[in-house]
Chain A
Amino acid sequence: MTLPLRAPHDIAAPGIGGVGESTLRPDGTLKVKGEFAYASDLWAEGMLWGATLRSPHPRARIVSIDTAPALAHPGVRAVLTHEDVPGRKHYGLDLTWDQPVLAIGEVRHQGEAIALVAADHPETARRALDKIAIEWEILEPLTDARRAAFDPSYPQVQDRPNPARHQPVRVGDVEAVRAGAEVVVTGTYEVGIQDQAFLGPESGLAVPAEDGGIELYVATQWMHNDLKQIGPCLGLPEERIRMTLSGVGGAFGGREDLSMQIHAAMLALHTGAPVKMMYNRHESFFGHVHRHPAQMRYEYGASRDGKILYADVEIVLDGGAYTSATLNVVGNAASLGVGPYEIPNVKIDAYGVYTNNPPCGAMRGFGAVQACFAYESMMDKLGDACGIDPVTIRRTNAASQGSALATGQIIHAPLPMKDMLAQARDLPMPAPLDSSDIRNLPGGASQTTHGEGVRRGVGYGVGLKNICFSEGYDDYSTARVRLEVIGGVATALVHTAAAEVGQGLVTIEAQIARTELGIENVVIHPADNQVGSAGSSSASRQSYMTGGSVQAACWAVRDRLFTLVDGLYDDLSLAGGKIISASRGVIASIEDVLGDRVIEETREYHHHPTTGMDPVTGQGDTHTQVALCVHRAVVDVDVELGLVKVVELAAVQDVGKILNRLSLEGQIHGGTAQGLGLAVMEEIVVSDGKVRNPSFTDYLIPTILDMPPMRLEILENADPRAPYGLRGAGEPPTLSSTPAIVAAIRDATGLALHRVPVRPEHITG
């Protein structure tokens, strides 16, 4: 094997902190200093560079394709098309197998991969792409998501019919109670396409192995699920594919689908040389799926005092040409379509459709983010109609422990939503506008105002997110923990396949091992597929699931260690490097008992089982856990120019148990910032199926001058089913910050604002 330079290696986790301490990240200093090895830094002796030819058209037939001129280009070592895919020609995130590895006679979205080139220089590869001659028959793109959902005569986008999924939810009888509602409010809402905008573009290295297999170094979110797709497409058994996670520069769902994995492996197997592929920013916008855009119609009926009687909801989510995560996005949107509110009569219809728009799939909070913007907008609208303030209208209808979700699932753990809303409301307000420094004003240093036209607004948002995979999926995690004495000190090696994507997981793994084994020295093995699946670094699930598996493996190691202790004790524990009897005090040091033995245990952790959603009523115990975040947003809006400055975002979030406050606050800040982006600037703008802004010049993400300081109140009401009582924390703030900010803009402007992101021209009219 050619070992790549800058390949991932064991990480000695610094610090001595256990669970609950703000231990620093092992990768933190390296990242700040620019020394962290990301996937784009991979390099191997004699490697080639791969490049991808992508479709300029959203929908077209490939009449003919001529690769000969590209192959004749000096320095080019391979040009591959779908004919060269060794195994299955299609893959799919949720094993839906509908996405071609390389286009077969037809393209269904702009940027669809058609052919691959390997060359001795990246620029050579790029130039060779231009020499692949394709004769096109260009077709009218199918871009109308509502027609795709409801019009049976609308042409099919791919082999599978529209909609990809329709999930109804039925509770009570909306039709029977509709006439009896004293107050009825309706709203139509839209969410634009948001991009994950991770800073490390798709990259990886494929190295052919002597056994005919392949070594893959990639930045991904779930290696074992990649493997289930890569293996069949390459025609290789899984054991001949060795995957190692390389440095991941952010993910947010965008690395759940495969990008360059199969492509680089095909080129490496074909040429017999290591092949590196690295997208640039432009290609990255086409190299991964985005957040589903949504069109939503809501109608709520209520009594005059604001108690909701019924909800009638229709949600259409545009998944683009291939399935990706659409089925689960629809499941989330349907099951969480009215959020954390008690509503006796519910009719929800959520649809996910195929179109020739950009492909959409997983992104932080998927399905729930879109619905949250709509249901929170509806809560404000209902409050207005009843003359009730935003906090009270939400408290009037708030769910709590023991309430049923729209699916009928009973919330088993504490959900102190009413208190959290009051807490958010009662936090001190930020200081009044100080217009003496223009950087405090909307527009900032661009000096669009000295205070003219600026109005302040306050808004609230509440978001409920399912944690871990839902609908009957057993997304277990596996951890292997090895305890031995190294250099006279008891040291644990923690080995999982879980992806550190920047969220701080490896820090938490080490903290758990320290706490459970009572030691200080912990080393994190690179994540690879030489250990069982850890599931995906998504759905806010890794602290819960891989945290759970590391804890379980540590317990197994601990129990074996105890069997080495002379004498009979049934009250042993580990702390401070010692084995301690509750009745007799310190028995021995771990090092003395362990000697030169090595204890290694591997454990799986499975969460409480869930069920699917009933296909007709949507009922079922579908979620593992739900988590809540409440935001209060304060904004200053220049109402004449339509520019927004978010002044403060306060959040109250219940996380069950704080494992690492520093990391956790980073997650809440980051999730909130991503929700802010969706509220006021982030959108992939599409016309006729084509992306108009595939760059960071025109796809704007918040800067430090856009993201305000936060006030955080973090609660710890334990979920009895979860390790340490914790709740997943990464996604809920992404849900609630968007509607809170839009509510604040509405408060400042008096406008209805039914679409995010809110653009200046939406405010100026």
Chain B
Amino acid sequence: MEFLRPTTWAEALAAKADQPEAVPIQGGTDVMVEINFDVHRPPALLDLNQVGELATWSREGDTYRVGAGLPYVTIIEELGGVLPGLAQASRTVGSPQIRNRGTVGGNLGAASPAGDSHPPLLAAGAVVEVESRARGVRMIPAHEFYLGVKRSALEPDELIRAVRVEAARGPQYFSKVGTRNAMVIAVCSFSVALHPGERRVGTGIGSAAPTPRRALEAEEFLAGELDWDARLDSAVLKRFGELCSRAASPIDDVRGTADYRRHAIAVMARRTLTWAWNDYRKVRAA
């Protein structure tokens, strides 16, 4: 197995272009586990951990550009105020050791339906910045990024450079069910983001379908029914939960049953929307 260690972004793109079958490592908390278990024997590994610029974040106007190599711990510590949904999800990833090493770029690259960062990216309307040597930069909205179980819109010669997320203009919440109180893969997860300027609510469902996905019908329902100047109507809340649950297409597996996942998505959808709505009303009242 070849082990490629570029130190600049240009070298990394060149390596990927020359060897599209090389598997990128951005942290290694997923890829290395799979190699240990002999799930894959890729002909080459492309270690992106030496490309320093990937482990940084920057701000362009209201948009935060989170480098693909920025570890979860930095998102929690430095971006919790502006990207609360993503920071909350980052807080639930693995153990402190994993959060020191794991990255959103790696999570996107793996495109596992159970990846913790996907629901908040979907709810916030994030955009994945990918690049290839041949065609340059391409912007992929998060909701177009996930194509199937562990399959994404990334072309073989492309690498994920960053994810662009707008600073939260309203409350955001992430919630994840696991059968242990820490260090657990999601049985299912849910994220909500209020976009008061657009009078819109974004959603993201994790680990309850072949891909992370938005609950589009639920979002449309709220866009039509939600009175942004009033308390949350209990019938609207209930319907929102049902629609989110209906947006999921979960399976029975060793981590949980499909029925339970549908049920839990509804509960989390109601709870997270209630928290977000209460925060929103509190801010407006103040």
Contacts and interface: CB of A to CB of B under 8 A. Distances in A.
A700 interface: yes
Given A641-B177, A680-B179, A703-B181, 9 more contacts: A443-B178, A446-B176, A448-B271, A452-B271, A641-B267, A641-B268, A692-B254, A760-B187, A764-B263
Nearest to B180: A700
26 contacts: A442-B181, A444-B181, A445-B92, A446-B175, A446-B177, A447-B88, A447-B92, A447-B173, A448-B176, A641-B177, A641-B264, A643-B177, A643-B179, A645-B181, A693-B254, A698-B254, A698-B255, A700-B179, A702-B180, A706-B181, A706-B182, A760-B177, A760-B187, A760-B260, A761-B260, A764-B260
B275 A450 contact: yes
B100 interface: no
A302 B71 CA distance: 62
Interface of A: 126, 280, 282, 442-450, 452-453, 640-643, 645, 680-681, 685, 692-693, 695, 697-698, 700, 702-706, 759-761, 764
Give the residue among B38, B174, B181 with the most A Cβ atoms within 10 A. Answer: B181
A745 to B, nearest CB: 14
Nearest to B184: A700
A759 B179 contact: yes
B206 to A, nearest CB: 11
A761 B264 CA distance: 10
Contacts of A640: 267
A282 B37 contact: yes
Nearest to B38: A126
Contacts of A759: 179, 256
B259 to A, nearest CB: 7
Interface string B134-177: 00000000000000000000000000000000000000011111
Contacts of A645: 181
Nearest to A446: B176
Contact of B185 (A126, A442, A697): A697
Interface residues of B, number: 32
A221 to B, nearest CB: 28
Nearest to A442: B181
B237 to A, nearest CB: 12
Nearest to B268: A448
A688 B38 CA distance: 25
Contact of B180 (A280, A282, A703, A764): A703
A438 to B, nearest CB: 10
B203 to A, nearest CB: 16
A703 B88 CA distance: 20
A681 B185 CA distance: 13
Contacts of A697: 185
Contacts of A282: 37
A645 B267 CA distance: 18
Given A446-B176, A641-B267, A705 B181 contact: yes
A322 B182 CA distance: 36
A446 B38 CA distance: 30
B183 interface: yes
Contacts of A126: 38
A760 B256 CA distance: 8
B91 A445 contact: yes
Given A645-B181, A703-B180, A450 B254 contact: no
Nearest to A703: B182
B177 A443 contact: yes
Interface centre among A448, A449, A692 (most CB of B within 10 A): A448
A570 B254 CA distance: 70
B167 to A, nearest CB: 21
B228 to A, nearest CB: 22
A448 B177 contact: yes
B257 interface: yes
A450 B271 contact: yes
A624 to B, nearest CB: 37
Interface in B229-286: 254-257, 259-260, 263-264, 267-268, 271, 275
Given A448-B176, A641-B177, A703 B92 contact: no
Contacts of B267: 453, 640-641
A705 B92 CA distance: 13
B116 to A, nearest CB: 9
Contacts of A445: 91-92, 182
A444 B254 contact: no
Nearest to B266: A640
A282 B257 CA distance: 24
